[in-house]
Amino acid sequence: MNLTKVLSLVFFVVAIGLGYLLWKGVNDVVEEEKRIARIEAAIIEKLQMLRDAQLAYQASNGKYASTWDSLKTFIETGQIWIVQRTETTKLLEYGKEEITVEFDTLGSVPVIDSLFNETKYPDFNLEALAVVPASGGKMFEFFADKIERNSYDVNVFEIRDPAPINPERQLNNNEKALKVGSRTDASTEGNWK
């Protein structure tokens, strides 16, 4: 074997090794992004569930739950009232209309059966609802208060991931952490949209 063949074989082996390392580096980044996306999807699903529970709590109590314990108790024991609204329109003189609105309470259903039924969430676990997925047991941060907007007191809430797994969300003291609601606005939207 001459020197050219030996060098060709060495360079071929080195090229295969470098190609593998390049592929492995790109593949690791792609797999990490997929893992982060799966975890964030699970966090978003829980935040949506917690938002639904907060909205039901606010409809029943006139304010949002400020702690997980109070929201959990409401989910376990609270009731959602079924109300039927009926409007009757009566035509008066000169084309005017009179509208009468009647509300009739038909009954109630437990919150847990209404919001978190087996059909919608087959693997629902109330004890794990406030635990952030893949966080090692950390709980979502809860906040509820009243703020003043245009001389009116408005109820607000925020539920937030305390330790984002995505490095982009960790910047500026977790400023972009996944959350639902707002401490400063009357919003029930999530920041993932």
Tell me the residue range of the domain where 123 lies. 3-77+111-181
User: Residue 86 falls within a domain, yes or no?
Assistant: no
User: Residue 105 falls within a domain, yes or no?
Assistant: no
Give the pLDDT score at 70: 92
- Across 48-131, where does the E strand assignment appear? 79-91, 97-110
Distance of CA 46 to the CA centre of its chain: 5
User: Residue 22 falls within a domain, yes or no?
Assistant: yes
Neighbours of 192 (CB within 10 A): 14
Give the pLDDT score at 116: 86
User: Residue 98 falls within a domain, yes or no?
Assistant: no
Give the pLDDT score at 119: 86
User: Residue 188 falls within a domain, yes or no?
Assistant: no
Q: Give the integer Cα–Cα distance in Å for 11 and 30.
A: 28
Tell me the CA distances in angstroms from 140 to 82, 100, 106, 133, one per residue in order. Answer: 30, 44, 35, 10
Give the pLDDT score at 73: 92
Decide if 159 contacts 181 (C-beta within 8 A): yes
Number of domain units in the chain? 1
pLDDT in tens, the chain (193 residues): 688 888 888 888 889 999 988 998 888 888 888 988 898 898 899 999 999 999 999 988 889 998 999 999 999 988 888 889 999 988 888 778 888 999 888 888 888 888 888 888 888 888 888 888 888 888 999 999 988 888 888 999 999 888 888 777 777 777 788 889 888 888 888 888 7
Q: Give the integer Cα–Cα distance in Å for 120 and 10.
A: 59
User: What is the Cα gyration radius of the chain?
Assistant: 27
Give the pLDDT score at 159: 92
